[in-house]
Structure 1
Amino acid sequence: MGEPVVTVKQGHLRGLETESVAGGSYLSFKGIPYAAPPVGELRFRDPQPAATWTGVREAFIEGSKCAQLDMFTKTILGDDDCLYLNVATKSLTGSRPVMVWIHAGAFVLGDGGFGMYSPDYLMDSGIVYVSINFRVGVLGFLNLDHEVAPGNIGLKDQVAALKWVKENIAQFGGDPNNVTVFGGSSGGVSVHYLLLSPLAKGLFHKGIIQSGVVFNPWASVTKTVDTARRFVSTLGRDITDPDEIVKFLRTIPAHRLIEVQENMLTPEERINLIYPFGPGVDAKSVEPFMPRPLEETAAEGFDVPVIIGYNSHEGILFLIGLQDEAYAKLDENFEIAVPRSLAAKAPSKVPEMAKEIRTFYFGDKRITKDLVDEYVQCCGDLHIVAGIQKVVEIQMGKKSPTYFYRFSYSSPTSLAKTLFQVQMKGAMHAEELQYIFFASQFRYYIKMEPGSTEVMLRDRFVRMWTDFAKTGNPTPVIDDLITKKWEPITETTKNYLEIDTEFSTGINPNKDMWQTWKRIEAIASD
């Protein structure tokens, strides 16, 4: 078993037997090309088929991540040549459910590597695991509203990876007819996009959406042509012809493109999560991923079983790097808090919408750092939770089950809070990931003591997520570990599961907040 060999459509692959931190071992195959390297003339083009190879290709190390700014070291790393995926499996025989992970990173950074998302905890649950890299930032989302660069290339990379899974996963002991796509933050947004896109139909069968949907203000971009021209202008050229822009940008080294992309952002854009490049409508594409207006498409919902949810204090994320003057800026000009999509719908109603939001979260108080709790809730709801509530409401009219959750355990050994150096009670954005994955590159910060709440939560998450992947039901068996039956939402009732030290079930989490946001949306639509 030391170095297993599989045969995929492109050739033979040799993997490794990998020791699991959870005990035992599994087989891993890393750095598998699922599409041709998007270099040279293929930069900004839809993913093309991967070439075949002769002999046995060693799948021991991960492929390069897409060129990006590293969140922790603040250095630019990665490459154009990044369309690789990783597979982990207990055995090459049998036909087990497949779970495909889509990484976070706001569509500008991140990768599917085992450094952040090692599947050790998942491996004893009888699933086959796949994680993917895809193009991010300008390399994945340049949109000139023209077929030469229509946008959404990074999302099309995800589709290409799912096609590879459909064609090849049986060789790793996976069932191509039982595939669950799951992701957190922008990975959750990606899952939502895939559920809505005509290009992804039939490539997967269930979805898990953690803390991110297409309705979030940062999950799509507009004014893409203006942004692209501004980008090119920063590189010293004033070109408007789409063919010329693409031709010019293909001559610029990938790291230089990322440098310019980062320097384009104003402090206000950074604080409001406004990125220059991201998903949107790509109607000018020869084969569009999102051919119709996003709002219209998303309002129709989807008929695929899903788990969807959020964390109780998502907004702690927005305290990272926050300067005291940010509170004063918000206090002076609260209109910047109105989501761009709502402001664009009704520019004249922005003051009214701003007043509604401000009154709900801050009352008539001045916004200072003393109101940090209110600031956290406002940011979390604005950027993540309100959008998720909207998706859940749409799904109440669908036949396929939707399982809704809120995660609220505040761990004293939180990996996310340790990495981002924040101290505040509550489950912050991405805090659930430490119970699903072993982040091997941060192994020295991970505290999973036998018998601890953390170990119990890990076992619960793993069991529910993998049971859902197997059966479409996250709680098919009630026992000492899974103590409550998780009911899906119905046409009339927004059932949800509270995931804390204990499980509890309820109806309509954060009801007052959601009523406020519905009122704000109504102001924009009147």
Structure 2
Amino acid sequence: MGVKVVIFVLSLCIFESIEKKNKIHSRVADENGPIVNIEDGAILGRVDKTVDQNKTYLAFQGIPYAKPPIGDLRFRPPVPNDKWNGTLNATREGSSCVQGILPVTGSEDCLFINVYTTNLTGSRPVMAWIHGGAFLFGNSSYQKFGPDYILDEDIVHVQFNYRLGVFGFLSTMDEACPGNNGLKDQCLALKWVKKNIRHFGGDPDKVTLYGESAGSASVSYQLQSACAKGLFRAAIMESGSSLCLWALTRDPRATAFKIGESLKLNTSDSNLMVEGLRMINATILQQASLILSTGDLVADPLAGLQFSPVIEPHHEGAFFYNYSDLLLSEGQFHRVPTIIGMNSNEGAVAGDIPELLRLYLVNFDLNPSLLAPADLTNSSYKRDIAALLIKYHYFNILPLSFQTDSVIKFISDDQFNRPIRRMVIDMSRYSPVYFYMFSYEGLLGGVEGERSLKGVGHTEELGYIFRSYVNGRVSSSDVTMRKRMIRMWTNFAKYGQPTIERDPLLQNLDWPRAQPRNLVYMDINSRMTIRRNPFESDMRFYDRIYRLYGSPPYNTY
């Protein structure tokens, strides 16, 4: 997603309720739709049908889980929402969070949660979704992430917004604005689920947290934060990790002060500057922050995003304040069963870069040291040697700007495969990990016509999980693959493992756990296959690079 965001941002800039506790109950209204009563107040939802099995479900959308983070609450951790009088109309989704540049869209009043359930009674497993979007854009809308197929499997589904960009991830690295407010939003949403989901027919002790790309990295951060302890019992991470280079901001304080300077604020003191930023119009602040961060991305596209999670200074309420690689390798995370994986050619998303934008690759020919992993070492000598070895391994002596396939392979390994593999190795020492690669090249992934690049690109697997990614031409094999993905993901939510019995739909396979020295994984394709050690030669090459030139512990990997 890091490179995808570079492309995305470059293109933009080039062209531009109330009852006492323990007396709360749920009921279904007649002509007015379903009503649920929680501690905050009454909530009115709507009735709908799933697209495949025509199963009746109840939708409660746009429920505020936090006070609007506006005014003095801008750049502060989220505050639980106040109770309301009367009945909240939750038949429409709330606003997306502020994002984009031309135009700027969304609102700061955006901390909403959507709940979808087939029955208000009972106690069913829950799946809570965190959307991706490089911590810069996206939302939890039904249009993008319709959970119809998951609801058909009798799961309660939850999805929520969290603050993005400068509003969610500004950090001065001190008490003025420690950072990670977007992650803290997610954690508060999970606390809301823990407290309230039983009123929607969900089991608060059977929550599976899952996400894709930046959403997946968010899941891995929640796994490592004391904030989320006890809030979920399993996790699924699709194409993202806290170890990914793009999932950590490297110099957030400098970025924050650059924004302050660009807006002519007093930057002599963090508190004064942040107070000034609270007074700036949201649209102006969004535009200024995105323009600034784009310049840094152009200069070094592999260095990471300017508004993403940070390693906070030690303070009360810190979400995260240590090296992720250290926490994972030492088992300092919530040891729950996990599914972790990637698509077969994540970097294929870069294959459609217009030639004008492709020119930025020349930076790597002129300065090969940029090819070295951002957190490999502080030694410029070691970095230069490692970078030259990486350049030769992937590109030989030819210029990068003429090697599309090799560049895409490098992007896949550097931005996704290497850090995800490392996370599997670290976590599988302490808890059950089910490793996968999604390699099915179908139509539901959104690729129309003949593929110009072999392999499955970033985000394509979402078309086999959610309703939203619709392609008019869908084959029977596409439908089978969708059913397989739903079966495995919902099995995991129900039972803590993706395969539970001999199932013809899953070719009667038993998906084994990965081990640190035996990286067995499920190759999810037309013919599902158990394999070992994905991208083995390239990953062993990086193992040598880190062994010879790395300086642990690492912020990212």
Place the TM-score, normalised by the shorter chain, in its bin. Answer: over 0.9
Identity across the alignment (%): 36
Match of 1:268 among 298, 301, 319: 298
- CA RMSD of superposed structures (Å): 2.0
For residues 406-459 of structure 1, give each alpha carbon's deviation from its aligned partner in whole angstroms, at most 9, with x where no partner exists.
Answer: 1111225531x459x9842210011100000011xx64x45434xx11111100
Whether 2:366 is the aligned partner of 1:366: answer no
Match of 1:479 in 2: 503
Task: Map residues 484-503 of structure 1 onto 2, 5 A cutoff.
Answer: 484-503=509-528
Asked if the contact 2:221–2:242 (Cα under 8 Å) also holds between the matched residues in 1, the reply is: yes
TM (norm. structure 1) is: 0.93
Whether 2:203 is the aligned partner of 1:175: answer yes
Q: Read off the aligned partner of 1:147 and give its amino acid letter.
A: E
Asked if the contact 1:65–1:82 (Cα under 8 Å) also holds between the matched residues in 2, the reply is: yes
Match of 1:385 in 2: 417
Match of 1:351 in 2: 384
Whether 2:118 is the aligned partner of 1:93: answer no
Asked if the contact 1:22–1:120 (Cα under 8 Å) also holds between the matched residues in 2, the reply is: yes
Whether 2:348 is the aligned partner of 1:316: answer yes
Task: Map residues 127-166 of structure 1 onto 2, 5 A cutoff.
Answer: 127-166=155-194
Q: Which runs of 5+ in 1 are unaligned?
A: none
Match of 1:288 in 2: 318
Match of 2:150 among 119, 122, 133: 122
Q: 1:151 to 1:418 in 2, by over 3 A?
A: farther
Q: 1:352 to 1:159 in 2, by over 3 A?
A: same
Q: What CA distance in whole angstroms lies between the structure 2 residues aligned with 1:37 and 1:382?
A: 38
Q: Read off the aligned partner of 1:308 and give its amino acid letter.
A: I
Q: What CA distance in whole angstroms lies between the structure 2 residues aligned with 1:479 and 1:293?
A: 41
Q: 1:422 to 1:11 in 2, by over 3 A?
A: farther
Match of 2:460 among 425, 431, 437: 431
Q: What CA distance in whole angstroms lies between the structure 1 residues aligned with 2:444 and 2:493?
A: 28
Whether 2:246 is the aligned partner of 1:213: answer no
Deviation at 1:45?
Answer: 0.9
Whether 2:50 is the aligned partner of 1:50: answer no
Q: Read off the aligned partner of 2:487 and give its amino acid letter.
A: R
For residues 84-133 of structure 1, give each alpha carbon's deviation from its aligned partner in whole angstroms, at most 9, with x where no partner exists.
Answer: 01000111111000000000011111111111111011111111000010
SS at match of 1:129: strand
Whether 2:337 is the aligned partner of 1:305: answer yes
Q: 1:506 to 1:378 in 2, by over 3 A?
A: same
Deviation at 1:514?
Answer: 1.3
Deviation at 1:271?
Answer: 3.8
Number of residue pairs matched by the alignment: 513
Asked if the contact 1:346–1:524 (Cα under 8 Å) also holds between the matched residues in 2, the reply is: no
Q: 1:194 to 1:396 in 2, by over 3 A?
A: same
Match of 1:113 in 2: 141
Deviation at 1:269?
Answer: 4.7
Q: What CA distance in whole angstroms lies between the structure 2 residues aligned with 1:119 and 1:162?
A: 18
Match of 1:395 in 2: 427
TM (norm. structure 2) is: 0.88
Asked if the contact 1:261–1:276 (Cα under 8 Å) also holds between the matched residues in 2, the reply is: no
Q: What CA distance in whole angstroms lies between the structure 2 residues aligned with 1:43 and 1:413?
A: 39
Deviation at 1:493?
Answer: 1.7
Q: What CA distance in whole angstroms lies between the structure 2 residues aligned with 1:258 and 1:274?
A: 19
Q: Which runs of 5+ in 2 are unaligned?
A: 1-27, 553-557
Asked if the contact 2:443–2:474 (Cα under 8 Å) also holds between the matched residues in 1, the reply is: no
